[in-house]
Amino acid sequence: MVHARTTPFAMPLPKALEHVDRFFGLDTILTDEGCDILRPYYQQSEPGYKRVHSEKGCMHMALNPDGVYSADGYFTQIRTVADHIRQVQAKRVLELGSGMGFNTIALAPDHPDVQFTGLDLMAHHVNSAGKDARHLPNARFQLGSYADIPTDLHGADVVFAVETLCYATDLDAVARQIAAAMAPGGRFIMYDGFRRADFHQAPPDVQTAARLFEVTTAVTGGFHSVEACEAALARAGLVVLRRDDLSDQSIAGLRYLHHRSARFFRSWKYRLLKHVLPVYLLRNAVAGLVGPYMIEGAGPNSGDTQAAITYSVLMAEKPH
Ligand SMILES: C[S@@+](CC[C@H](N)C(=O)[O-])C[C@H]1O[C@@H](n2cnc3c(N)ncnc32)[C@H](O)[C@@H]1O
């Protein structure tokens, strides 16, 4: 684990759980486990993603390989996708769960001969992405689900998904949809959080931190394991090329959000917001506060105890 250049935790994990319990009730939050809260979560969270989370339109975690938080980390996933676009000389790229369009809008200008399409379930995300992509002739955004990818989007040379397949309820069905959408020789890249295979051996409060993060980001079924995703892709006929655990690279960004969230929990002024703002929006502060513990363990230093979640990338290919 990266130790040296990250800031310390704002507080020990038991204290963080105490704050969350006092403000929201741990059990109250966890009663949403297994419930479908995706739409109200993203509807209510729009101002949070637009004004608090990070770069304009970005809805994913920063990956900073040097362990120091910087906004450049939000482009790490994009650079990898760009490598694959070049490797297969892609003409058509499909982004699943494209959110407010950050990734596709960053990629399109550098690849003017490539046609990009972003597919997302939420109309307000699609509209926001479409507005921000007005100036890009080779990028468009479409409403729809990766559980039922429209056939006119099939034939993509690169399909990618950043922090969205965690919401898939039927991995096999989605993997088949992805395989069907890919051209032979095409690449698939997914970045996401994953439950570690030994999730249940992590200390109970680290597991609780992970479950709180999952529920407060609407991943109410829990993150998938990387093994389950690989197996589903293989059953759909794709060849898994590699898997990389990038948890270390996610620490700086997670700690950045953790410190901002800690300020929220400590300040009585922010606590007044409870009476004004919608609950799923506010609960993003829980995800921010507990995020590092699920990836690093219960501290005081990274790796002192077992963690529960990894942040990983999976890459696969559709055989010719
Ligand atoms: C955490 S955001 C990530 C957005 C974007 N990939 C990014 O990196 O900024 C997850 C996105 O997945 C979308 N989503 C969830 N389930 C989906 C589905 N079944 N089909 C398409 N999009 C979905 C949500 O609406 C949301 O925009």
Where do the structural domains in the chain lie, given as residue ranges? 13-317
For residues 99-107, average pLDDT: 97
Does ligand 1 lie within 6 Å of residue 103's CB atom? Answer: yes
Residue that is written with structure tokens 């490598």 in the block: 83
Check pLDDT > 60 for residue 316: yes
Distance CA 306, CA 300 (A): 12
Give the model's confidence band at 5: pLDDT under 50 very low, under 70 low, under 90 confident, else very high.
Answer: very low
Confidence check: pLDDT of 314 > 90: yes
The rounded Å distance from CA 104 to ligand 1 centre is 13
Taking only the tens place, the pLDDT of each residue in 74-89 is 999 999 999 999 999 9
The DSSP output letter for 54 is S
Residue-level pLDDT at 74: 96
The pLDDT of residue 3 is above 50: no
What tens digit of pLDDT does each residue of 15-61 get?
999 999 999 999 999 999 999 999 999 999 988 787 776 667 899 99
267 compared with 171, residue with greater pLDDT: 171
pLDDT confidence tier of residue 7, bands split at 50, 70 and 90: low
**What is the CATH architecture assignment of 13-317?**
3-Layer(aba) Sandwich (3.40)
Residue closest via CA to ligand 1's atom 9 equals 59
pTM to 2 decimals? 0.96
CA contacts within 13 A on the Cβ side of 69: 15
Tell which wins on pLDDT, 315 or 4: 315
Q: Which amino acid is at 210?
A: A
Cα–Cα nearest to 74, from 162, 4, 156: 162
- What pLDDT does residue 2 have? 47
Q: Which pLDDT does position 300 carry in this prediction? A: 79
Q: Is 162 in the pocket of ligand 1 (CB under 6 A)?
A: yes
- Separation of alpha carbons 155 and 307, rounded Å: 39
Residues contacting residue 49 through CB under 8 Å, at least 6 positions apart: 59, 99, 100
**Among 171-185, 221-235, 260-274, 306-320, which is the least confidently predicted range?**
260-274
Per-residue pLDDT of 247-280, as tens digits, reads 999 999 999 999 999 999 998 877 788 888 899 9
Answer yes or no: is the C-beta of 58 below 6 A from any ligand 1 atom.
Answer: yes
Residue 162 pLDDT exceeds 60: yes
Per-residue pLDDT, averaged over 165-173, amounts to 98
Closest CA to 248 of 161, 207, 309: 309
Q: Are 141 and 117 in contact (CB under 8 A)?
A: yes
What DSSP assignment string belongs to 37-49?
Answer: -HHHHHHHHHHHI
Q: Is the CB of 119 under 6 A from ligand 1?
A: yes
pLDDT of 231 > 60? The answer is yes
Spatial contact of 302 and 2, defined as CB atoms under 8 Å apart: yes
pLDDT value at residue 286? 97
Nearest to 176 by CA among 94, 117, 231, 218: 231
Least confident of 88-102, 165-179, 223-237, 266-280: 266-280
Asked whether the beta carbons of 94 and 88 are under 8 A apart, the reply is no
132 lines ligand 1 (CB under 6 A): no
Q: Residue 130 pLDDT more than 60?
A: yes
pLDDT classification of 4: cutoffs 50, 70, 90: very low
The model's confidence at residue 304, banded by pLDDT at 50, 70 and 90, is confident
Q: How far is the CA of 49 from the centre of ligand 1 (A)?
A: 12
